């Protein structure tokens, strides 16, 4: 049976996902076969496993950091909000149905514990260490009676809990003490250490607070983790977009990304942030797109409602004007569907509002039904103009997560999907205009392909009179280095000897270990 450690937080966005990713890497480095786990995830940033199951992206990243293949048991329940108060419920990688918050809580949660227990048992039989992530806060008193993701998971896994708090937002001591005060005695007994996360400043000035916290609660501070800039680790929550934007208005290349209300898989844009001479800007509600060289309409959990948003906020006119001036307009998944002529929803599965004209920039038509495609895919560039002509015949990798099915003009398509979930396929996807300036695809992770990213950015650089880049200039896809760097920072910040004692584990020797001073 596996040893386990669980990271819970005083609130959302305290850094639980990143801390768990670091711990997965640390245990891998220390010689343990490790798996991540999160019982229930509410996120629009998802990933697809090799067998076509859909899970939260954070758990996929954590599995990658642990050096293992992601499975649906690492995140058995995923909630993807579609509208206010309604979400698609995905169980063991497959859609169960759409439910309101009340329906989910009353009708499904009583059955969910069995799913969580089964996944935990399977992982504990296969792995030596489980790194478990909580959700939100364990002190949500209005939800605790049917909790399956915080203290209930800790109980099922018999896992000690580390309680993490974000000091960058202030109130860290009140949030930690207050969270403990709202826990039941048996729950409080599971909390074996605190982690102060996202610290900037002089640690000596913090020490009196740490001493107060330990004296007040009797629980040690396991460590103080610094604020980590540009850690390169995939986040699960779009609240992280607030930390992504860059104040680089003067850069030669300006890329605008519409921050849709229901934006999903925003990590599609991540490779662009590391490009030299380039500013990537998320356009928030009320802001103008401005004089962008490239406009990207990203994925969304509800293409129809987010297209309505673009119209109501005036973004449709801006997009059409920029397209008319020869700027690039790109759509990914739901954004791709919006670029077409019509979005048809005959069964009301997308929004229940009926059909809607698209932006009319591509000759495609999308119909929504009950089918959902979730696959890792391999595709080949089969046609296209502009920079796409340089990619003719080349292979791209990515993944699909979509319900809308696009009808393309006969025999046309930008890409030919040749493999889906490990099976041979022959499916046309994507479309571009005759000059290649307006294009879209259902394939997420399209910019993760270095061959495409290099041609894409060099096309923009050439138009600006900038020197062309080489592959090694991108400096983007060293994800293994990102995991190692994150693990080194967190390892340095935590008292690792104390962590192993908390987990009741015998520790293997790690040659580069420098135990942190957090618990001293």
**Residues recognised as catalytic:** 333, 444
| H/E element, 330 | strand 328-332
Q: Which two tokens stand for residue 350?
A: 């997308």
DSSP string across 383-423: --SGGGGGGTT-EEEEEEEES-EEEPSTT--SEEEEEETTE
Q: How many Cβ atoms sit within 10 Å of the Cβ of residue 218? A: 9
- Polymer length of the chain: 520
What's the rounded Cα separation, in Å, for the pair 414 and 293? Answer: 22
- The radius of gyration of the chain from alpha carbons, rounded to an integer in Å, stands at 23
- Asked if 301 contacts 264 with a C-beta cutoff of 8 angstroms, the reply is yes
Burial environment of residue 189 by CB neighbours within 10 A (0 to 12, 13 to 18, 19 or more): exposed
- Give burial (CB, 10 Å; 0-12/13-18/19+) of 248: middle
Both ends of the chain: CA-CA distance in Å?
31
Are 341 and 360 a contacting pair, CB within 8 Å?
yes
**What percent of the chain is helix, strand and coil (3-state, nearest 5)?**
35, 25, 40
- How far is Cα 165 from Cα 7, in angstroms, rounded to an integer? 10
């Amino acid at each position: 049976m596996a040893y386990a450690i669980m990271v819970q937080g005083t609130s959302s966005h305290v850094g639980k996902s990143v801390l768990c990713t670091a711990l997965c890497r640390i245990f891998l480095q220390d010689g343990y076969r490790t798996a991540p786990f999160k019982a229930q995830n509410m996120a629009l940033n998802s990933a697809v496993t090799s067998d076509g199951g859909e899970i939260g992206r954070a758990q996929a990243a954590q599995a990658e950091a642990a050096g293992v293949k992601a499975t649906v048991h690492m995140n058995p329940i995923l909630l993807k909000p579609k509208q206010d108060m309604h979400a698609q419920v995905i169980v063991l990688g497959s859609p169960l149905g759409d439910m309101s918050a009340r329906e989910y809580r009353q009708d499904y949660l009583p059955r969910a514990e069995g799913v969580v227990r089964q996944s935990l048992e399977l992982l504990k039989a296969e792995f030596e260490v489980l790194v478990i992530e909580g959700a939100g806060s364990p002190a949500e008193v209005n939800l605790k009676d049917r909790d399956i993701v915080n203290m209930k998971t800790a109980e099922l896994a018999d896992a000690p809990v580390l309680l993490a708090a974000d000091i960058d937002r202030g109130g860290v001591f009140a949030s930690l003490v207050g969270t403990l005060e709202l826990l039941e005695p048996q729950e409080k007994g599971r909390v074996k250490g605190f982690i102060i996360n996202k610290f900037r400043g002089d640690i000596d000035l913090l020490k009196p607070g740490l001493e107060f916290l330990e004296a007040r609660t009797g629980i040690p501070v396991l460590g103080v983790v610094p604020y980590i800039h540009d850690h390169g680790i995939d986040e699960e929550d779009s609240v992280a977009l607030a930390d992504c934007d860059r104040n680089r208005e003067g850069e030669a290349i300006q890329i605008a990304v519409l921050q849709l209300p229901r934006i999903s898989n925003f990590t599609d844009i991540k490779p662009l942030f590391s490009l030299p001479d380039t500013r990537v800007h998320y356009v928030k509600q009320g802001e103008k797109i401005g004089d962008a060289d490239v406009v990207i309409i990203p994925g969304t959990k509800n293409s129809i409602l987010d297209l309505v948003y673009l119209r109501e906020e005036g973004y449709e006119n801006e997009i059409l004007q920029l397209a008319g001036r020869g700027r690039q307009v790109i759509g990914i998944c739901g954004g791709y569907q919006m670029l077409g002529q019509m979005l048809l929803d005959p069964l009301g599965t997308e929004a229940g509002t009926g059909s809607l004209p698209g932006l009319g920039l591509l000759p495609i038509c999308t119909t929504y039904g009950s089918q959902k495609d979730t696959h890792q895919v391999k595709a080949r560039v089969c046609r296209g103009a502009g920079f796409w002509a340089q990619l003719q015949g080349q292979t791209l990798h990515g993944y699909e997560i979509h319900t809308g099915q696009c009808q393309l003009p006969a025999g046309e398509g930008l890409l030919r999907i040749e493999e889906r979930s490990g099976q041979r396929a022959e499916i046309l996807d994507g479309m571009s205009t005759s000059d290649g300036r307006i294009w879209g695809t259902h394939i997420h992770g399209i910019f993760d392909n270095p061959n495409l990213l290099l041609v894409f950015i060099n096309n923009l650089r050439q138009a600006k009179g900038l020197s062309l880049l080489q592959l090694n200039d991108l400096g983007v896809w060293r994800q293994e280095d990102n995991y190692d760097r994150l693990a080194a920072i967190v390892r340095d910040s935590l008292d690792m000897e104390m962590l192993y004692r908390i987990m009741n584990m015998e520790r293997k020797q790690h040659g580069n270990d420098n135990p942190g001073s957090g618990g001293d």
